[in-house]
């Protein structure tokens, strides 16, 4: 087997909730809730699509892949391909094959294994923003985030040397259209079955495929249905390596379909040349893969930094609002309907979600494009050259923090930003710093939800300006 993972990336939203503080707020209930570590909390304008785009943007600098895969158990659209929207957001050609994968937390690892076995250049993405409910352990235990990996033939990166898969309709937890909050079964039952029937046989089989003794595995990224499964399996396998999935769970929460893939990046970052790394995806069965580090995997080194970047979310009511656990009456200003027209999306959708402006013959860049350029020196129509603004930085020229216009997470920040190529665009802003946005601040573009039509179950996307530099969690101490 010569197929490799050549690059990897991960994305976590800005906000982090301290589980211990949150659990104290629920102390009066007597419920047993997770208290260790942090939970990554997505903003109101983030969803599995936008999270996955941010992870994938880190891996698209070497030409278009043959295929783009999107894996999630919490995708917003059920009859609209998120992967198709992603091709526009990533400015990939329409010839890239796409598919959405759902209904299993190991959807991403299964897709990854298929790409590796076929030796194809594919971009595998996974993300979650799962529905939770206060009092349910998943409300604090889950986390929002995304991961992406790119595969390719040859020996550049982490080479697949062994693998095994088992399919098993094991109901450790489930969610359904009638029960959207994940329902978990008794932990001891789950642990006993998962270890004996899935983890041990699959990992042993993968090691036999790679002709390795389990004790020689240097790094592990093993998703487990409940904490303690891996510790028990590792003892029986004689495998002392650290499980980076546990590290990720403590730092950001259980990322569902994205969890094993994100942790794999952490494992690659910790591995040395020649080391063997074990990846385990879990959900309705198991995928076990063993990689040999031939070369450094691009992007892995930066993923550990992602865990310590963020801003503490201290208001429990804000957390409840962002996770849709409470429905706040925002007053009359929130009483408006935004209906997206399919005809408009067909006409300008690719330029909009791709953030593609135009450059005229004199070098002036504008967004949006128009038949007659916004240039007083030009009096007639002109064909504009496409210019993608999504990957360029800009500076804030003016900014307003508006508390009159409705936004689900006030204030509503917007202003004029100027790109290095000269384009000026009026934009909404995201990931608000603790002390607010300032004129002259350097910003980067992030794909976010632009509007939500809850009555029709539809949402549109556009780019928002966010600070280039994120704070470190230790800065708040």
Write down the pLDDT at residue 477: 47
- Domains detected in the chain: 4-322 (3.40.47.10), 332-476 (no CATH)
Write down the pLDDT at residue 334: 81
Write down the pLDDT at residue 1: 66
Is 89:352 a contact under the CB 8 Å cutoff? no
DSSP lists the bridge partners of residue 165 as: 287
Q: Is 377 helix (H, G, I), strand (E, B) or coil?
A: coil
Strands (E), 196-316: 219-222, 276-282, 285-293, 311-313
Low-confidence stretches of the chain (pLDDT beneath 50) = 477
Q: Give the whole-angstrom CA distance, residue 414 versus residue 427.
A: 6
**Residue 225 preceded by cis peptide, ω within 30:** no
| Residue indicated by tokens 């990046």 | 265
Write down the pLDDT at residue 374: 85
pTM recorded for the entire structure = 0.96
Other Cβ atoms closer than 10 A to 218: 18
Write down the pLDDT at residue 411: 96
């Amino acid at each position: 087997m010569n197929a490799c993972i050549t690059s990897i990336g991960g994305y976590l939203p800005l906000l982090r909730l301290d589980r211990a503080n949150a659990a104290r707020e629920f102390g009066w209930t007597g419920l047993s809730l997770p208290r260790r570590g942090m939970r990554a909390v997505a903003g109101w304008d983030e969803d599995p699509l936008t999270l996955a785009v941010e992870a994938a943007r880190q891996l698209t600098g070497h030409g278009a892949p043959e295929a783009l895969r999107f894996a999630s158990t919490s995708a917003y659209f059920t009859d609209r391909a998120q992967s198709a929207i992603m091709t526009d957001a990533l400015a990939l050609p329409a010839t890239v094959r796409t598919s959405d994968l759902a209904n299993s937390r190991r959807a991403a690892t299964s897709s990854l294994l298929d790409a590796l076995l076929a030796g194809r250049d594919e971009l595998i993405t996974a993300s979650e923003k799962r529905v939770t409910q206060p009092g349910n352990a998943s409300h604090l235990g889950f986390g929002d985030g995304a991961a992406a990996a790119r595969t390719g033939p040859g020996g550049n990166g982490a080479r697949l040397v062994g693998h095994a898969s088992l399919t098993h309709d094991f109901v450790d937890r489930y969610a359904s259209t009638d029960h959207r909050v994940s329902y978990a079964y008794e932990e001891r039952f789950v642990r006993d079955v998962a270890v004996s029937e899935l983890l041990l046989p699959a990992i042993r089989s993968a090691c036999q495929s790679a002709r390795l003794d389990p004790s020689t595995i240097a790094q592990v990224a093993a998703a487990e249905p409940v904490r303690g499964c891996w510790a028990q399996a590792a003892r029986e396998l004689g495998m002392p390596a650290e499980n980076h999935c546990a590290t990720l769970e403590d730092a950001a929460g259980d990322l569902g379909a994205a969890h094993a893939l994100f942790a794999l990046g952490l494992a690659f970052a910790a591995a040395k040349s020649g080391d063997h790394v074990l990846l385990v995806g879990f959900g309705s069965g198991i995928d076990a893969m063993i990689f040999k580090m031939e070369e450094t995997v691009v992007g892995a080194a930066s993923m550990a930094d992602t865990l310590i970047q963020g801003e503490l979310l201290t208001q429990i009511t804000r957390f409840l609002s962002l996770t849709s656990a409470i429905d706040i009456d925002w007053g009359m200003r929130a009483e408006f309907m935004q209906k997206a027209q399919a005809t408009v999306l067909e006409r300008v959708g690719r330029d909009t979600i791709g953030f593609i402006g135009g450059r005229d013959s004199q070098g002036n860049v504008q967004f949006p494009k128009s038949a007659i350029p916004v240039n007083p020196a030009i009096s007639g129509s002109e064909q504009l050259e496409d210019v993608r603004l999504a990957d360029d930085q800009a500076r804030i020229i003016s900014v307003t923090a508006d508390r009159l216009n409705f936004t689900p997470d006030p204030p509503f920040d917007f202003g004029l930003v100027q790109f290095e190529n000269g384009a000026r665009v009026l934009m909404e802003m995201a990931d608000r710093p603790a002390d607010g946005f300032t004129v002259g601040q350097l910003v980067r573009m992030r794909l976010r939800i632009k509007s939500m039509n809850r009555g029709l179950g539809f949402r549109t996307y556009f780019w928002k300006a966010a600070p280039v530099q994120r704070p470190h969690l230790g800065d708040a101490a």
